[in-house]
Amino acid sequence: MNRVAIFTDGACKGNPGPGGWGALLRMGTVEKELVGAEPLTTNNRMEMTAVIRALQALNRPCEVDLYSDSKYVIDGITKWIHGWQKKGWLNAQRKPVLNADLWREMLEAARPHTITWHWVRGHDGHAENERVDRLASDAADAVRQRSRTG
């Protein structure tokens, strides 16, 4: 099974507001950057989208080390999601889970892979995290600029 390192980040200019996401996939010495944006979204949705799109880019089952600076993503996928599923996608307050559509999509994207989830502190000099932060921020800036100019 191939081993892949994935680094992800999301950014939002306003929350909600124009947002972007970035991902870096690395297998050995081969790297691929992915990036995307939405004109009106939230930071959490962009963090999740980066993870989903990166996992969907893998064309066969892999052993994945996935790095994110989002506690929401890491805790959600490793701690909270099982309870949400058991409760019919309701949270502890018996209200619908926010971003349930993306949590479901993330579960589906993760299914073929063996994933080790890693939290990294954002803006702390982690080279790959800084790189995907720049991708996400630039994508959010670009979509914001496009929406201003029409």
Task: Give the active site residues.
Answer: 9-10, 47, 69, 123, 133
Q: What is the rounded CA–CA span in Å between residue 59 and residue 36?
A: 19
Residue 49: closest CA among 79, 15, 94, 9: 9
Q: Which two tokens stand for residue 130?
A: 């800084």
Q: What is the rounded CA–CA span in Å between residue 120 and residue 103?
A: 20
Q: What is the rounded CA–CA span in Å between residue 32 and residue 108?
A: 22
Label the pairing between strands 62-68 and 2-12.
Answer: parallel
